[in-house]
Amino acid sequence: MAILLLLVLGGAAAGAFGALLGLGGGVLIVPLLTLGFGLDFRDAVAISLLAVVTTSSASAAVYLERRVADLRLGMRLELATAVGGVVGALVAFALEERMLAAIFALMLTLTALSMVRRAISDRRAQSATA
């Protein structure tokens, strides 16, 4: 029962943060499944991708209804992301799981550092104009 509760809460958090911040649910789901449940990295990625389809569809509907999403641009990106998705999945099977996990960790770290740098830069710019 505790495992089911953890999955439900983790999934809800991933969906909420995905819709709120545009994060791929994998940022939360993959670590939850690998670290919390001991799944292999590749399996966790596959499960995360399945879960994110629902999150993306549900939250995109809200953004479209509120007219803040550019449907035309989104449709153009779909083709490129579909091709990238197929290529990425094929590469994922060619690499060792350790390498995949290292790439995942590196991307999360670089993204976090970039966001912190931008926040510091924005804060300095606001202080300079105040």
pLDDT in tens, 78-91: 889 899 999 999 99
Contact between 29 and 10 under an 8 Å Cβ cutoff? The reply is yes
Instruction: Supply the Cα-derived Rg of the chain in whole angstroms.
Output: 17
Question: Interior CA angle at 19 toward 14 and 20, to 5°?
Answer: 100
pLDDT in tens, 25-73: 788 889 989 998 999 999 999 998 888 888 888 888 898 999 998 889 9
Q: How confident is the model at residue 24 (pLDDT cuts 50, 70, 90)?
A: low
Contact between 36 and 10 under an 8 Å Cβ cutoff? The reply is yes
Contact between 44 and 74 under an 8 Å Cβ cutoff? The reply is no
Helices (H) and strands (E) in the chain, counts: 5, 0
Cα–Cα distance between 44 and 125 in angstroms, integer? 40
The mean of the pLDDT values for the chain is 88
Residue 55 pLDDT: 80
**Hey, where are the domains in the chain?**
2-93, 95-130
Number of Cβ within a 10 Å radius of residue 120: 10
